[in-house]
Amino acid sequence: MLVRIACVLGLLLILLPLPASAAPDPAFTQFIASLWPEAKAQGVSRATFDRETADLEPDYKLPDLILPGRPATGAPSQAEFVQVPADYINEASIARLAAEGQKLMAKYRASLEAIEKRFGVPAPIVLAIWGRETDYGRYTLPYDGVRVLATQAYVGRRKDQYRNEFVLALKLINDGEVTRKDLRVSWAGATGLTQFLPSEFYEHAVDFDGDGRKDIWHSVPDALASAAAQLVNKGWQKGLRWAYEVTPPANVDCTSGVPEVTKPLDEWRREGFVPVRGQRLSAAEQAQEASLLQPEGIYGPSFLATKNYFVIKEYNFSDLYVLFVGHLADRMVSPLPFARPWSAAKQLRTQDVEAMQRGLTRVGLYADKIDGKAGMLTRSALGAYQKRTGLKVDCWPSEAVLHSIEQAR
């Protein structure tokens, strides 16, 4: 009886009219077809190319696209750039991830010790990257990798970069590194437990568990070792902390908080930047070069960031991301939060920060990207504007300073 009912239902489904599908985008189809020579040059077979691009359609709901006739979407959904530090570096999240990280450190102790011995990257750092990127593998990446990378290559803000990433995604599948089903990505195209773009896979991925595959999707040792390899390849220095929290002098010049201004830690100390909680630095540490980092201007915690800070920033270009990873790594070893709490500062909208950057560019104080992200260079330029105009120098992008900049046109 059940078989008979199933057959009847199947027949009804066949007879019912199919829902109308979206019309193919001929320009997109032509664009994808034009990439065949590049895919072929990377060793992708014609069969793989045709199979993986058949019926492929762009996903115009993704952020960071430039679509004719539509408002630019930008990338405001990235928490690193729209949340104030207290929200992004949330104490409850840090405490939870640190506790889980300690358990994982014990579970994968042998692999982590071997990773640190080979690459010189401490276990807490690679675990913190894993925790931040995919919640230790619990977060399921939501998008089909081929479709996302194809869309970003077609109408994204960084077309040239994603053109190569799309081709390399096809190569990943062609080479048997991953199946299309497992090639799940973020909206920006990163994949795996520790979030690699396809190009990063080919540059840094490691087979650490010895099974003959560089499996950053399922093998924790492979994913963590690959993250360590990427840090090393970008300049990680063994035995060097990522940053030191300090108490700045009362007359601190926040405009000096840029990567280009570096001094030995001992020189910063002599200028009044005191490590918190009486932390004592070794002679080797005191000789290390560092830059001043004040994520909330003169408000909230201050840090002296070492070269390894900027290496982690190469993994994700956000000060808050690096602070999250570095602090989470520290919390796996010590339960202490930052000595100085974050302030309750309000974060400006992305378009307001862009307007501020354009204004600072117009008056000759800013020469970097107009991207709506209030990073170190933007905060320093803002402080320079405050100095020039007699405003309070706090290097924090507020509505009052934005209004002043717009009124100065």
How many residues does the structure list for the chain?
409
**Phi-psi category of residue 408: left, alpha or beta, with phi > 0 → left and psi -120 to 50 → alpha:** alpha
Eight-state DSSP code of residue 368? S
pLDDT at position 151: 97
Tell me the average confidence (pLDDT) per consecutive run of 10 residues in the chain, 409 residues long: 37 37 78 98 98 96 83 51 82 97 98 98 98 97 98 94 98 98 97 98 98 98 98 97 97 96 97 96 96 95 98 93 97 96 82 94 94 92 97 94 90
Cβ neighbours, 10 Å, residue 103: 11
pLDDT at position 43: 98
Residue 72, token pair as written in the block: 């630019």
Exposed/middle/buried for residue 136 (C-beta within 10 Å: 0-12, 13-18, 19+): middle
pLDDT at position 73: 54
pLDDT at position 184: 98
Global pTM reads 0.90
How many CA atoms are closer than 13 Å to the CA of 294, on its beta-carbon side? 29
Q: How far is CA 89 from CA 72, 95, 236, in A?
A: 28, 10, 23
